[in-house]
Structure formats: C-alpha cells, structure tokens
Amino acid sequence: MIEVGRPDSCRADFERIEVSATNNTLSAYFRALPWHNNNKKPSSICWTFGDNRDTCINYVWITQVSMLLNHTYQQTGQYEVCVKILYYGGCEARKCKLVIIPHNTCTVKLFEITPSVNSLIRGFYAFTTSIPYHPVEHVCWNFGDALIPVL
C-alpha cells in the first residue's frame, strides 16, 4: 500500500471563556480548540466535566462546527475537565485540565489623571473588578519616592 500526502496528525485542546453576562458562578463556558494537519473537521466532540454529567456532540461534515459549550455545576470545587475530539478519517485526540468552580478572579486597572502635560501633580484612579463580586477592603499605593502613601 502506498500513501500519498501527509499522514494524519491531530490535537485537542480547550479554553475556558469568561462570560460576564451571567451572575451564576457555577456556570462555565468552554470552547474546544481542534487542530488537524490536513484540516479535517471533527466528527464528534466529547466532554467530561468531572461531575458525572458528560456530553458528546456529533457533527455533520458539511456544517459549521460550533465549539462553544456551557456547563453548570451543582456545587463549587475542583474538577478535571476533558475534551476528546474524533476527526473525520479516524484521528482522535484528548486533553484534560483542572478547572476551579467558581473561577475566582480579581483585576485592577490603573488610570493616571494629569491636569496638564507640564504639571508635576499626578492623580491616580484604581478600577477594580472581581468574580464573584467582593468589595475592596483596602488599597495601598507605592509611588517609589519613599513618602508614606495616603490610604
């Protein structure tokens, strides 16, 4: 038997998508990230979420494949989430990652307020966000000039 062309090679991966439109901290959105060296499409994508509520989605060759999926957990915790992608032609790949529910995150964006370009006076504003929401307890500033910051 003589094979012409590149032999099939495939991978599977996924990412967690942050969706701020929902207040349900037990809800998680995942996107499958398929890769096939010969650009073959997935025939099925199976998910295990670590909570015994798994799902498989079969795809028709001619359709566009939606890789986004929502899963709602019953309780908080750490879960091993896996995606298994079977491609047309038989190549199969799998990837697992640890996912923490709820996904506690916090961010701060720093903005500088300047009265004019030549002014030596600077004002700063810290914009904070957190998922799930928690009020800011305190803010500490260090301007690098060895002066004691005002809280």
Q: What pLDDT band is residue 127 in, cutting at 50, 70 and 90?
A: confident
Residue 137: count other Cβ atoms within 10 Å of its Cβ: 5
**Per-domain boundaries in the chain:** 10-101
Distance, in Å, from the CA atom of 19 to the CA atom of 125, rounded to the nearest integer, reads 25
pLDDT band at 131 (very low <50, low <70, confident <90, very high): low
Question: Does the domain at residues 10-101 carry the CATH identifier 3.30.43.10?
Answer: no
pLDDT, tens digit, 9 for 90 and up, residues 13-44: 999 997 765 567 888 999 999 999 999 999 99
Alpha-carbon distance 31 to 52, whole Å? 19
- Banded model confidence at residue 64, pLDDT cuts 50, 70, 90: low
- Is the pLDDT confidence value at 132 over 70? no
Prediction pTM value:
0.65
Determine contact, residues 114/32, Cβ cutoff 8 Å.
Answer: no
